[in-house]
Amino acid sequence: LRAIIENYGGGPVGLGTLGVAVGEDKGTIEEVYEPFLIQEGFLQRTPKGRVATAKAYQYLGIDRNASDKDLFDS
């Protein structure tokens, strides 16, 4: 979840890209981690990729609006 939020602005991010970012096989993510995260309401699967939910931001204590800032914002 933290990788999706911090590296990809909350998503969407593809499964293969996410696997590389966290150093995990995409099959393991899809079969082990993803079902739990979806069931608990932390992750959504969309046609464009995986997206962190508002509940994920809240759980991790990350301000959702702060993570949306542009690279050049001060």
Phi, psi of 25 (to 5 degrees): -65, 135
Domain definitions of the chain by residue range: 2-62
Q: Report pLDDT for 65.
A: 78
The fold of the 2-62 domain, in CATH, is Arc Repressor Mutant, subunit A (1.10.10)
Q: Report pLDDT for 52.
A: 95
Long-range contacts, stretch 38-43, CB < 8 angstroms, 24+ apart: 42/1, 43/1, 43/4
**Euclidean distance between CA atoms 52 and 42, whole angstroms:** 6
**Euclidean distance between CA atoms 51 and 4, whole angstroms:** 7
Contact between 62 and 1 under an 8 Å Cβ cutoff? The reply is no
Taking the model in full, what pTM does it have?
0.80
Each residue's pLDDT, cut to its tens digit, for the chain (74 residues) gives 999 999 999 989 999 999 999 999 989 999 999 999 999 999 999 999 999 999 999 999 988 876 455 544 44
